[in-house]
Structures are given as C-alpha cells and as structure tokens.
C-alpha cells in the first residue's frame, strides 16, 4: 500500500533526475484523492510545500546539495509547532493559534531538504490510543477504514501507511508512536529520552515525552532519525553525546547479538492476543536464525508499569495543561472576570479524556494523596530502571509485542477509559525508563491486519535497534 521510499526520492532529487516539485505534486494528489476518507491530516499545507519544493529545485539547479532528505515529503503531528501554520493538538482550546516559532525538529527537517506537506491528526493533546479523542474527528486505518489507526500519533502513522508522505514525525509519551506504527504496518521509533529535541513539542508529560520518526521502511526511519537526533541548546533535557549515523550500519546483521524476550509481555497475564504472540515468537526465531542468541528474560515490574504511568503522566499533564487558560493561546470564552473566563474557556475547550486526565493528575498530586499515588509511582519507576539495567547486563536488545492486538474497530474501547489504557501495556516501560524502543511490522494477524513487534534497548542503543529491525524486516 505504501509507496514511500524516502531514500530513493532524496537520491533522485539530489542528482537532478527528478524535481522536488514533481515529488510533492504526486504526494499532494494522493492526499487529495484519499484523505477525505482517512482524515490523516488536520491541515494540508500544499502551497507552502510547493514553494519549499521549488526552493529545493533551485538549489539543485545552482549546484548546491539540498541535504539528505532533499524533496522528501514529511507529515508533522499537529502538536509540533510550525511558525505561521496553525497548531491545534487536535483540541478546540488551541483552535486558531498560530505558533510564532518552529519546533527544532521541524527546522532540522527543512534544513535537510525535507518538505512538510501538512499537520496530522492526534488524540487531543496526545492523550489516547486510537485518535478517537481528536476534537476534529478520528483518523481511519488505511488497511481497513472501519478500524482505528492507533494513537495518539494515528494521523502520522496513517499518512505513511497510505503513501501520503514517506516520512512522518510523532511524539511518544506511553507508546504514541510505536502503537499506531504497529496498527498501520509502518516502522516507528521512540528514541532515547533527550536524544531528539522537544523544543516546540507541546508538552503532555515532560519526563516521558519524546519526538520520533515514522517510515515505511527501517532504512527510511533511520534516515529521518539521523537528521533529527542530536543536542539542542533550546532543550535543556537534550543529551550532548554525539550521534553516530544509524543509516551506515543497517546491514550489519545480528550475528552474536544477545536478544531477550520479555517473559512478562509474552505470558498469558497481560491480555496479548494469540496471533500477536505467535508473531512475536516467530520474530525471535528469525533473529536466532540470523545468528542472535535468544532467551527469555524476566522484568517483573513491567506488570506495574501501566499503573505507575497512569499516575505519573496525568500528574505531569495536570501541571503542563494549566497554561491553557484563555490568556495567551487560542480560544477564549468571554466572561466578566478572569477567573470565570479561565474556567469557562477550559470547560468548553478541553474534551472528556483531557479533563479526565487533568482531574486524575490533580488528585494524585493533591494534599493527602501525593505519597499514596505519585510517590509510589515514582518508586516503581526506580524498580523498572533497576530491572532493565540488570537485563541489559545480559542482553543487547529485548523483544516484545508492540500492541496487545491488531487494529480494533471504532468504538470498541471507548466505553471505559481503562480498557483503552491497557493498549499501552507493552510500550509504557520504555517511557518510564527513558530507553529507546522501536516497532517494526512483522506479518499479519488472524484478521489480515498488520502486527508490529517491539525492540527495546538501553539508553542510546538506537543503532542496535535499527540493525535488528532490518533483519526482521527482511525476514518477515
């Protein structure tokens, strides 16, 4: 389904074999033909994209290299700030807000020659696992439009899967890149916390949020990662360590690599569907056949990650989302006094899931409950870090399912918030530890829809994850 090949496009544009304008026009035509049905985008920025493409073509004509992503269309999750282009977080409360600056990742992509074609739909403020929480209506899964694309970066995953753009950016706080990547049959990486700048990412949970790439292939995803990774003076949490190009080592294979299958996430306790478990086992076999040693490893606190996350993330969100009060950004509901105006604006501007999480977080941080909830959750986080550190003494990479099931029908998990939260059980541990994790498509489930498997590594092990993912991609 996906026709994206960012590497081939960039090579053709850099050599002058194909114009960036031609590439962009082709992708805009695909968007025009099918996004009415899929709704991957909250906004398509065609005129800007064509102007940027012409600028790339002028560089090529003048003998200047436009960069490693020359002429490659990219889709940007609509919680990444874009100067002069509305940024909504798929929330009413930000409707009409036009950021006065670009996110660093947006600047980096443009500097590498990439062409932003639009902003993609998400669960409001990235809170959700299906895009059903978007204030502007859900995105549909390109593989089966009666199913969700996953979330919260569902628009970005669907855009890549539908061939609207070979690359996209998302954000991942509890699985919001990896889970939609799995459900849409594309590759998605949550980099190490701090590896990619978050300047200009609208904050959800600041100790967990990370920006990362989607691609139709492992090689394309690695190319995008190489462009966006690295220290940023505008993000005090970004890591100063130099970035080694992952694209260069993709073909190195996994001979001698020590792979651990996380026992808790392939057991019968976590509600993982049998077809997803079979795919995960088969992925382990493919890695073993390619020369890796594969064993099961126990990370007992994985089971408690979900609980810790659903205290920590709402707690941080309740603080971060206090800034949306009708004073500086977006919409305002008029009222006689400021306090009434703020209350009326927040009440009208936030959707039900965002309100739920703000209240949950406010409660968890409130006097008398702080130690019982937030304090305990932070201690579980320490246990997880210790257990993963032990596991990485014996293993280079860990393997698990990405999502408990393939893409589910609309409305299947909206009746009760907890049912939706359980989608994140395999992805949350890496956010709590700050470690990198990647989802790579690996076969299909009993319903014929894509299954993703997850590769996890210690801090800054992105290169190893891409190497292993390339082997799974070739062997699926």
Binding mask 206-225 for another protein (x = CB under 8 A): -x------------------
The SS3 of residue 211 is: strand
Q: Which of 30, 59, 77, 381 binds another protein (CB under 8 A)?
A: 381
- The yes or no reply on residue 91 touching another protein (CB under 8 A) is no
Q: Which of 176, 197, 247, 301 is catalytic?
A: 176
- Looking only at residues 299 through 328 of this chain, which bind another protein when binding is defined by CB under 8 A? 301, 303-304, 306-308, 310-311, 318, 325-328
What tokens does 416 get?
């009760």
Near another protein by CB under 8 A, which window of 16-24, 57-65, 91-99, 136-144? 91-99
Distances (CA, A) of 276 to 75, 348, 405, 446: 28, 40, 6, 9
Active site residue 152: yes
- Looking only at residues 232 through 251 of this chain, which bind another protein when binding is defined by CB under 8 A? 233, 236-237, 239
- The yes or no reply on residue 230 touching another protein (CB under 8 A) is no
Closest to another protein by CB, 17 or 236: 236
Closest to another protein by CB, 376 or 476: 376
- The yes or no reply on residue 268 touching another protein (CB under 8 A) is no
Binding mask 357-376 for another protein (x = CB under 8 A): -xxx-xx--x-----xx-xx
- Cis peptide upstream of residue 152 (ω within 30 degrees of 0): yes
- The yes or no reply on residue 343 touching another protein (CB under 8 A) is yes
Closest to another protein by CB, 119 or 381: 381
Q: Which of 2, 19, 59, 77 is catalytic?
A: 77
Residues in contact with 355: Cβ distance below 8 Å, sequence separation at least 6, in sequence order: none
Residues in contact with 260: Cβ distance below 8 Å, sequence separation at least 6, in sequence order: 294, 295, 296, 297, 391, 394, 395, 397, 398, 399
- Looking only at residues 382 through 441 of this chain, which bind another protein when binding is defined by CB under 8 A? 382-383, 385, 416-418, 421, 432-435
Distances (CA, A) of 397 to 229, 425, 468: 20, 19, 8
- Looking only at residues 123 through 182 of this chain, which bind another protein when binding is defined by CB under 8 A? none
116: phi then psi, degrees, rounded to nearest 5: -75, 125
Residue position matching structure tokens 């706080």: 173
Residues in contact with 320: Cβ distance below 8 Å, sequence separation at least 6, in sequence order: 203, 204, 205, 206
8-state DSSP, 52: H
- The yes or no reply on residue 273 touching another protein (CB under 8 A) is no
135 vs 127: CA distance, rounded Å: 12
- Looking only at residues 29 through 88 of this chain, which bind another protein when binding is defined by CB under 8 A? none
- The yes or no reply on residue 183 touching another protein (CB under 8 A) is no
Q: Which of 34, 101, 273, 447 binds another protein (CB under 8 A)?
A: 101
Active site residue 91: no
- The yes or no reply on residue 298 touching another protein (CB under 8 A) is no
The SS3 of residue 440 is: strand
Active site residue 129: no
* Structural contact between residues 99 and 80, judged by C-beta atoms closer than 8 angstroms: no
22 vs 427: CA distance, rounded Å: 38
What residues are labeled active site?
Answer: 77, 152, 176
């Amino acid at each position: 389904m996906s026709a994206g090949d960012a590497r081939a496009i960039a090579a053709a544009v850099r050599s002058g074999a194909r114009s960036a304008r031609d590439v962009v026009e082709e992708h805009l035509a695909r968007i025009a033909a099918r996004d009415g049905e899929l709704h991957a985008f909250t906004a398509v920025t065609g005129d800007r994209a064509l102007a940027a493409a012409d600028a790339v073509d002028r560089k090529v004509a003048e003998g200047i290299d436009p960069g490693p992503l020359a002429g490659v269309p990219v889709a940007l999750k609509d919680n990444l700030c874009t100067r002069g282009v509305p940024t909504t977080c798929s929330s009413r409360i930000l409707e009409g807000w036009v950021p006065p600056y670009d996110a660093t990742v947006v600047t980096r992509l443009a500097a590498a020659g990439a062409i932003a074609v639009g902003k993609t739909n998400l669960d409001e403020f990235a809170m959700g696992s299906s895009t059903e929480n978007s204030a502007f209506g859900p995105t549909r899964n390109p593989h089966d439009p009666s199913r969700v694309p996953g979330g919260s970066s569902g628009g970005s995953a669907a855009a890549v899967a539908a061939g609207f753009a070979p690359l996209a950016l998302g954000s991942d706080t509890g699985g919001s890149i990896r889970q939609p990547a799995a459900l849409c049959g594309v590759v998605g990486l949550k980099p190490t916390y701090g590896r990619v700048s978050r300047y200009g990412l609208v904050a959800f949970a600041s100790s967990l949020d990370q920006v990362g790439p989607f691609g139709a292939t492992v090689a394309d995803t690695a190319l995008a990662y190489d462009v966006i990774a690295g220290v940023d003076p505008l993000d005090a949490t970004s890591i100063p360590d130099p970035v080694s190009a992952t694209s260069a080592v993709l073909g190195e294979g996994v001979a001698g690599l020590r792979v651990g299958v996380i026992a808790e996430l392939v057991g019968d306790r976590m509600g993982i569907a049998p077809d997803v478990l079979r795919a995960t086992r088969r992925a382990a076999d493919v890695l073993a056949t390619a020369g890796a040693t594969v064993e099961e490893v126990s990370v007992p606190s994985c089971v408690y990650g979900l609980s810790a996350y659903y205290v920590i993330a709402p707690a941080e969100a309740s603080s971060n989302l206090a800034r949306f009060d009708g004073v500086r950004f977006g919409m305002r509901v008029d009222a006689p006094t400021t306090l009434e105006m703020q209350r009326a604006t927040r009440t009208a501007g936030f959707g039900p899931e965002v309100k739920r999480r703000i209240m949950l977080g406010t409660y968890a941080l409130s006097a008398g409950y702080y130690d019982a909830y937030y304090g305990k959750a932070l201690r579980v986080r320490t246990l997880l870090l210790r257990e993963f550190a032990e596991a990485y003494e014996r293993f280079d990479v860990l393997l698990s399912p990405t999502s408990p099931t393939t893409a589910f029908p609309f409305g299947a998990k909206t009746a009760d918030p907890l049912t939706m939260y359980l989608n994140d059980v395999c992805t949350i541990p890496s956010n709590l530890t700050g470690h990198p994790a990647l989802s790579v498509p690996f076969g299909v489930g009993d319903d014929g829809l894509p299954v993703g498997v997850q590769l996890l590594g210690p801090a800054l092990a992105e290169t190893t994850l891409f190497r292993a993912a390339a082997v799974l991609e070739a062997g699926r």
